[in-house]
Structure 1
Amino acid sequence: MRMRMKALEFYPVVIIIALSMRIPCAFGLDVRLIGGPDIYSGRVEVRHDGVWGTVCDDGWDIQDATVVCRMLGFENASIATGYAKYGEGSSSIFLDNVHCSGLETDLGECSHNGFEVHDCQHSEDAGVMCSKNDLQVRLVGGQTALEGRVEVFFEGSWGTVCDDLWDLNDARVVCRMLGFQIAVTAVTSAEYGPGSGSIILDNVGCLGTERNLAECPHRGFENNDCGHDQDAGAVCANDLGLQVRLVGGQTALEGRVEVFFEGYWGTVCNDAWDLDDARVVCRMLGFQNAVRAVTGAEYGEGSGSIILDDVDCLGTEHDLTECSHNGYEIHNCGHSEDAGAVCANVRLVGGHTALEGRVEVFFEGSWGTVCDDLWDLDDARVVCRMLGFQTAVRAVVMAGYGPGSGSIILDNVQCLGTESNLDECSHNEYEIHDCIHNEDAGVVCSHESPLEVRLADGPNSREGRVEVLYQGSWGTICDDYWDSKDAKVVCRMLGFNRTLSARGRAAYGQGSGPILLDNVVCLGTENSLAECSHSGFGVHNCGHAEDAAAACSIEDTTSELFEVRLGDGRSRNEGRVEVFYNTSWGTLCGAGWGLREADVVCRMLGFTDASDVLQNAAFGEGIGMVFLEGISCLGSENSLLDCTFTSFDANSCPHSQDVGVICKDTGALQLSTIRFDPTTSLGHPEHVFQGMPVPSAENSRSFSPVSIVLGAILAASYVLFLLLGLYGYHRLRKLERMTNNNSSEQPTSKGTGSPEAASAYLNLTSPSRKSTETPGKEAPGELIYMNLEVPENTIGGDQVYTDLSFTKGNDQEGPRPKYKAPMKPPVGRKPKSGRLGSPDRIDPSPLTQHDPIYDKCD
């Protein structure tokens, strides 16, 4: 009975331990974008328990946005937005402090506070702008880059467009995709020759305002009733005035410059012709820069009129008509002075500005990419110089600006950095490579002349509205995405080594003149705003009411002058966050705080990371200044000063919003296992400290491969413990039934055992059975004798021989089980704790080495 009670105690312990193991598991969420201008952008909403709700923008970044966009079927995210950019939601706020690595396939795999656990309003609803899954288009078979058969890239190969319903509106979209301003003609009936491969589109019906052919209605991809004799084409131009072409060169990149005027083609005289003029021509043809300005009819003498003479461009114009010249057909030249140009066979694609992007080269009439094998800064310098920039800031690898399409033209490029063209560098033969487009190379270039910056209309020279000098004029910066990292770059450009605040909404008054930059995104380490991502010079959607500002200081911000501590906590790893600055202690504003910000604080204090964030002065209100309003950290920073924040001095934040944290103290939690007591038949659980911290489910960040493996191990342990408990319980029930059946019989015989036995043994025999059953009737269970012999020095010094017999199998008619000899009570010391034998003997009892309970129970 005591043994039964021990097993009954053991069984629930095993089950409780098994059920207490937490196994991480991922769950799927439904997500949608609401309130955006198109299907690619909008406010992020997730569905939980059948209801749609929003996501708070605390800690919301591009990694989180990438996961959302991937869930919606887009390749990537271009912008993560906050402050309800796409309007405020109206239902619940479901998620806050979302933290994704960017590799997850579902928001449910990212860490967050828990559903409906937040400190936000709908004015903080998060949004995204996803990268568009656009079609790529090219013109093939024309004499210039402005004309040709329309081909689109679909599922890894180029194909044509059928001319059914093809008109000028469709051509306008194609030309706009290629960077041209207008479409001159919609071409039908394979005028530029029949293509090959698939016919990708048919019955295209654009309005002419679409940004990409994929947005126009059509019959569906590769669904058509056409032949290649109906391939569509287009003729593009950059304005309604001049068209330009290169004639007489070996490739489309070079030749004699000819312009189309009043219905016919003519040449340009080389008087005053230089590289700036050639740049404008190349830009009109869709190339990004000119390599050389050609004079002296190097590509042969033209015929017809000489249209232009004394052309004088700055190099920034979009068209020759914007340049100074004598007037149409006014010249003093002959065709021996016909001008020409050589355009750069390289361009940058996929970047946020003209300074960066995936490197593509022009080869045999089409654009292709460069593999990143051996790609370095020397190679990038040559590319940037070809495009008219002063130098390269970075060589980008692993398709940092997205994978390209079409051919991979160059591989194993090795430049010295002094070459004027990639063709002069060492590389494999054209289109000989061992790469895929995930290895496409890119570059980040710097401007030929650095930007100048100033702070205007502030109370002193250290703060004010940010203005930049571009092309001779001062202009402002829009405050979209403006934060302390951007302001840090401005302060560095001005010689200051500390940033006090980044402000928007024309905090120092509205500027005048152009708005030069918008959507500026800096890392904070750049030496110039020109190295930061932005929409492009003069490209914006702002008014001067959104002018950005910055406040700088000459004071140092080293860790010796900026310390952190925890106040009024119950232990060393918790409390109100306080910082030491300017000889006094102050608190931090809790608005926007999450675990990532708390992680930085805990790491500054020597802990590994944080387990919780407590808002609203949970550890009491502090005194002194309140610092760092609107802070946002990635969680990997070494100091709070490395995070972004809207203002260093949070004067508008009261002490009732003082933030507190609880840091993880190493060794606080331990794993426990089960150890079996070798002095008992079944054993009992013992807690064994392994010295390994146990992370809680609430603070779990994300499911890495390691955590997945640990989860599998925990799951296996769960099943093992459960089966062990059920097995022990099953064996105990068997033993109980055996004991109940035998208890009704009286002992009938007694045997003696050999005193020389060295240890207990089990002897099973099958004696002859006197059967009384009738023929044809199933015989009762086989009679089994269990002879257990115990040496005399094991139980009280007496020899005891026990012979038990019982039926094997189910209870049936026949001889009843009986004891052949009773167990002789031990003489001397009584067993302790219900155990057989003396537990304090030096030699262990043989019963603990060979227990009959485990020999035959079923």
Structure 2
Amino acid sequence: MKPQYPHNITDVRLVGGTGPYDGRVEVQINDDWGTVCGYSIGSYDADTLCKSMGFKLTRYSADPSVYGQGTGAIYIGYMRCYATNTHVNQCSYNLPPRRRYCSHSRDISLVCTPCGKPLIQFGSYHSFNGTVLTAKCDVGYQPENITFDCLANGTWMQNDKCSSKYSYPLEISDLKIVNRYGHHEGRVEIQVDGIWGTICSNNFTMAEANVICQMIGLEASHIYTDTGGDGPVFISNLQCHGNESHINNCSYNVNNDCLYTQSAGVYCTGYQLNVTGWRLAGTNGPYHGRVELEVNGTWGTICSRGFYGWPSADVICNMFALRYYDYYYNAYYGQGEGPIYMESLHCSRQSYTDINDCKYVANNYHGVCSHANDLSVMCFGPSLNITDVRLTNGTGPDDGRAEIKISDTWGTICDSNFALRDAEVFCKMLGLKAVRFFTGALYGEGNGPVYIDQLFCDSSDAVLSDCQYLFLNECSHSRDVSIVCNECGEPDNSHWDAGYFTYNGSTLYADCSYYKTYLGILKMTCDNVNQTWKAEGECQEYA
């Protein structure tokens, strides 16, 4: 808003009050008096109005029930003052408001005194009679009211203070963690004499948090300072060792100088269910699917909200004596049935082998999960006892469909995500090196099981049984992988990609059209003695 100074305000007064220090604000312009709309008036604006009369702001309100509604013009509709302003003419403000929300029902009223704002702890402003300010003590504090006198030196004299009506130890009838989501996280509230109140965060440490979380059958994860809370601050300077069964076994103060903005907050987690069974459901494979748990004979699911990533997924796979590969949110393998046993599953240490060791929120405590959030995982398959490998249906002894033997039964490998590093381990078992691999059952479809859907070998693996793999039971023999092995291994131009190579007997043929301006076939033969490739001819460039 562009600053406007349309009037010269010659005077400011308070009307309808109990004396010179309180009342409805009126400003004088050209010998006429009008009011100020309370819409959007802030503390700097109210303080500047008080300064214009030589006082300090004590309280402001747009409630007309105390000092009544004004009459005549509404001179100011929106003010913008700063802490350094000493008179309303130094502020910017709108002309008489044209909006319906500024009527005399919103006239601003002030209490302006030489003493400014009193510090009222555990109470709130109640009334002002022209000389004495009365504050009402909060619930759980006594007396009902306290008073302040404004002294000639510009300070308040407090005649009493709001004190807790309770003594140590408190008769705590209940405890709860409120106001946040996650692992039972939030502000700590205790119930005393039927009233809920808070614990001050001063000197609050993990030792105190451990006692509080243990009182609800959990353990503490970490602490924070909460900014909310209603009712009295029952406890301050809570001091525990951490192994007490109840905070009444700790020391604390019931009379304190804490503020509501210093409430203790905790994150509690813990072991709450006796999980006796687990399975992966919703797929055709035994090693991936929707995670389901059995508790007291009933199967249920895990919510993926707040799931703590791979360490937690690894623990789930460990329960099946497997290794973790991936996890999926939001019912990736379909929605389950029954209870939602866990949310915010947190398995932070790799040494965990059982979900009962992990931390979580049990039984959909926050009510935010549905089966649309069911968690799923994919695990590597168990170690395979591969006793032999062979190449079949090829053009010679060194190429063909890759087959592996497990428990005296020959089967194949799917080409999904297959890489030359996988072929290298296969060929190593034949005493050879990997040249190329081909997808899509180039040497015909095999028989028997497709043992592996995706293979993950690395250079340190000596045999295929050392490699990790996925068995998803989703691959058919139309995707059987084929491999070429010999003494020469991978040629220098292997980066041309499998689609630019063919193999026949002992010769590798590379299609020169990999380079778009070249044509012809580059014939390559393995020199078994020197274990190097010999190329015949060269690729021809055409104009």
- Shorter-chain TM-score: which interval? 0.3 to 0.5
| TM-score under structure 2 length normalisation | 0.36
Higher helix proportion:
1
Higher strand proportion:
2
